[in-house]
Structures are given as structure tokens and as C-alpha cells.
Structure 1
Amino acid sequence: MRLDKFLAEASVGTRKDVRNYIKEGKVKVNDEVIIKAYLEIDENKDVITYLDDVVMHSGRVYYMFNKPAGYITARKDEFSKTVFDFFHEENSEGIFHVGRLDKDTEGLLLFTNDGDFNNNLMCPEKHVKKRYFFIALGFLDETKINLLESGISIGEDEDITKPAKLDNVECKDYGYFNETTNVSKFYSMEPSRYDAPVVSGYLTISEGRKHQVKRMLKAAGCYVIYLKRISIGDLSLDETLEMGQYRALTENEINSVLRKS
């Protein structure tokens, strides 16, 4: 196996990242610094180190992706671009998205080829928490917040939602949000209506129903105009990732999910 492929599959970094690490002399094979990414190694016999730490190859990969709005969470789509358009071909082989985000929703999306990792995060019985930042037309008073947190009906033939958590709720008018967050990027409004109520905050849920955050807020009289997923379980979006960028998860991040099996 090529050295750069080995390191990428071991989640040291993307193929591009590990090639740079190799050029910088950070990788050794059998205690010898190697600067050729294409070197063929025996992954079963050779000892590979990165920054003098032994690299174990499992064949499994894990990526954190900062999803931009406007892309479908799917491998292919007949009419729209998809999140896989951002992945290098060598990094996308065999991986799949862990859960999904709506086309117009931004933020944390995970990819892997490890079924156990996916199950630990997405299995309904696990009740993994997912935290979202939202901006919505409307307002939330104490009564509505209590309703959202205790459970709210979002469909005639569905159970009420499980307990949720709202925090950092801020209720102002559209004009205020347009000045502070340039909300007109997501939803434009005539200046004569700048006094319309707008609310922002963080909503944490432990379910994964379709359009759940939007439907919960709609049931409370609010219309979501911006939504971003911030975290899944113990994994938080790396804010240094620009929109459309991805990176391999660290060993600690991977273990934080797998040890909960």
C-alpha cells in the first residue's frame, strides 16, 4: 500500500494533508524519515510513525465536514449539487454520510465507512443530542420555551417531541438582527417591516425526525430562516473549517463516539 494512502486511511489527515506531512519529514517508516508519499509499504509488517507516534491502520476513516447551504446530503442528485462534490475522489471512496442535513441547513456533518460509528450516533435508542443554532421570524416567550422543552406536537399522527433544551434565546426585531448578523443574506424584508419580531437561540434535541427543528419552532409560531448544526453528541464543529471544508477526526474524537457502544 502507498504510504500516503495508509496515513489517510488511518485518519492522520486527508491525502493532501499527509503528503505535506511526509514532505515536512514528520513521517517515519521503520524509524527512517521518508519524504516520498508514493513509497510502497507493508502495513502488516512495517512500523509507521507520525510525529514519533505509531500509526495504527484500521482501514476505517472518519471526517468532519462544514456543510454549506444549497447542497443535498446525498452521493448523487439529478438536479442539485451534493455534499460529495467537496470531497477528493481518493477520500470519498466507500464513505457515507452519518445522518443528514436539509439542503438549506449549514454546519456539522460527519462521514465514515464505519457502521458502528454511524450506529452509535444515529440509532434512535442512543438518544444522542444534536445542537442547532437558529434564527426565526416570530418570538418565543416563557410559555413557548417551556412547551418546546417539555415536548410539543409537530404532527397529527406523531408522538410529541422528547424533552429538548433552549438556551441563549434572544428576541429582537428584524432591523437589529440585520445590523448584527446581516440576516438579509438569508431572508430579505422591506425596510417598512424591520420592526417585525425575530428570535435566535440554540435548540438541542435527542431525536432525528425529518425537519424536526423547523417543525418544532413552527409549532411554536416561528418560521426558521437560518439553521446551523453545531454539535452531535460530544463532537462539536471545528469553527476553523471554512464552509465546504472537511478534516479527519482526531483519535480522541473518534474514541469519544466508539467508547459509548
Structure 2
Amino acid sequence: MRLDKFLADMQIGSRKEVKKYIKDRRVTVNGQVITSDKIQVADHDVVTFDHQPVQYQKYFYYLLNKPQGVVSATTDPRDKTVLDLLKDKDQRDDLFPVGRLDKNTEGLLLISNDGVLAHQLLSPKKHVEKEYYAEVAGILTVEDVAAFAKGIIIDGNEQTLPAEMTILAVDPKQECSQMRLILHEGKFHQVKRMVKAVGKEVTYLKRVRMGDLSLDEELALGDYRPLTEAELALLKNAVK
């Protein structure tokens, strides 16, 4: 890889800016000051900028505990986005949320620049499980569980794939319920639309799992961290 591309990819500056940094003798490769941006560097080369080592990384993966009130988008003219939650040092132009959570839905959201993995995780053909915890206005019943298990018709005359609902609690006095739901697809507002189709309403929604990757409960709302190698392996295994 050319040295200027290497540095630009690592957010040292634009291609034009890093060319100037190189000419200004601010870059070394293997201890030698380099003044040509056309030099090729490999994985084993040691590159520094202003005496600080620059380690090349192609893909980035962050596990975010999305709070309510932010949108799953790269930019938005009105609302704060999930990318706005990243610290300056982690900001990159190529990062994006993998899939969407509604503005008022909380929980697990993957932020990455790996388009191939993102496509595989979201592809209906891969049937990667997404698990949600929901609080519902209304009394969930065993009939609702059976209907979800068969797949139901939601508004817009859309047919859902079979989904696994578990009723966690029911409060007859408050006329509310708690449930977990496992989906194998990702239709727009799907959980809310499925619950509406059986005559109830979602009042709180949180995604807790994607594939075998579970939300880190130690992450406060709005916090994030890089995926571990083991967690990344779980995601990649889910799409094989």
C-alpha cells in the first residue's frame, strides 16, 4: 500500500494533507525519515507520524448500547445520530450502523466499516437471529405465542417469518406484559407491528442479542467499546 493511502486510511489527514506531512519530514518508516509519498509499506513495516507509531487497521467494530432519542444513521439534519456518540479519536468517515434500531429503541447496535459482514448479518437469506426484550400494554396470551410461531400478517399485508415469543411476565391489574422475541428477519418497525397485529402495543423495546453476540450489560446507555476477537468470531460464525 502507498504510504499516503496508509496514513489517510488511519485518519492522519486527507491524501493532500499527508503528502505535505511526508514532505515536511514528519513521517518515518522503519526508523528512516521518508519524503516520498509513493513508497510502498507492508504489514511488517513500522510507521510513525510525529514520533508516534501508526498501526494499520482495515476494519473497525464497535458494540454500542444505543439509548433512546438518537437515530441509527450516519447523518441527520434534526436528530443526534449513533455516530455522534463516538469519541473524536474513534470518528471515521466510513463507519455506519449495521442495521437500524428505532429512535426510541435501546440496546445492541453494531457500528462498523465492514460492508461485507454488515450485508451478511442483515441478509434475510442468512436468518441471523435478533433477540428483543419488550414491555407491552396489554395481556399477552398463549394464542399470541402460537400466532407468532406460525408467522403473522402485519399492517401493509406483509407476512412475517415465524418468530419465537416468550412471555416473561403478565400483570392483569396494570394490563401489561413483558416478553422476549427472537426474529429471523428485519422488517421496518417489525416488533411493534407484530405486537400491534395481536391487539397490543409496545411501550419499551430493547435489542439484547444479534446472532450469538449479546449486549454487554456493563455498557451504560450511550457507551460503546470495540468488539473482542471472540465476539467478532461469533458474528462471523453466524453468517457462515
Match of 2:75 in 1: 76
Equivalent-residue separation in structure 1 for 2:42 and 2:138 (angstroms): 57
Q: How many residues align?
A: 196
Equivalent-residue separation in structure 1 for 2:105 and 2:113 (angstroms): 23
* Residues 195-233 of structure 1, C-alpha deviations (whole Å, 9 max, x = no match): 331000101111100000000011111111100000000
Match of 1:35 in 2: none
In structure 1, runs of 5+ residues without a counterpart are 10-29, 31-41, 48-55, 174-194
Alignment partner of 2:108: what SS? strand
Equivalent-residue separation in structure 1 for 2:68 and 2:169 (angstroms): 23
In structure 2, runs of 5+ residues without a counterpart are 12-29, 31-40, 47-54
Normalised to the residue count of structure 1, the TM-score between the two structures is 0.69
Higher relative helix content: 1
From 164, 184, 200, the counterpart of 2:178:
200
Normalised to the residue count of structure 2, the TM-score between the two structures is 0.75
Match of 1:63 in 2: 62
Contact 1:120 1:257 in 2 (8 A): no
Equivalent-residue separation in structure 1 for 2:120 and 2:230 (angstroms): 15
Match of 1:236 in 2: 214
**Deviation, structure 1 residue 157:** 3.2
Equivalent-residue separation in structure 2 for 1:72 and 1:256 (angstroms): 26
Runs of 4+ residues deviating >6 angstroms:
none
- Of structures 1 and 2, the one scoring higher in RCO (CA 8 A, sep 6+) is 1
Farther off after superposition, 114-123 or 65-74: 114-123
Match of 1:217 in 2: 195
Match of 2:85 in 1: 86
Match of 1:111 in 2: 111
Contact 1:106 1:228 in 2 (8 A): yes
Alignment partner of 1:199: what SS? strand
Paired-residue identity, %: 41
Contact 2:145 2:166 in 1 (8 A): no
Equivalent-residue separation in structure 1 for 2:136 and 2:167 (angstroms): 14
Alignment partner of 2:154: what SS? coil
Match of 1:140 in 2: 140
Farther off after superposition, 84-93 or 60-69: 84-93
* Residues 226-260 of structure 1, C-alpha deviations (whole Å, 9 max, x = no match): 00000000110011111100000011111222243
Equivalent-residue separation in structure 2 for 1:169 and 1:152 (angstroms): 21
Larger Rg: 2
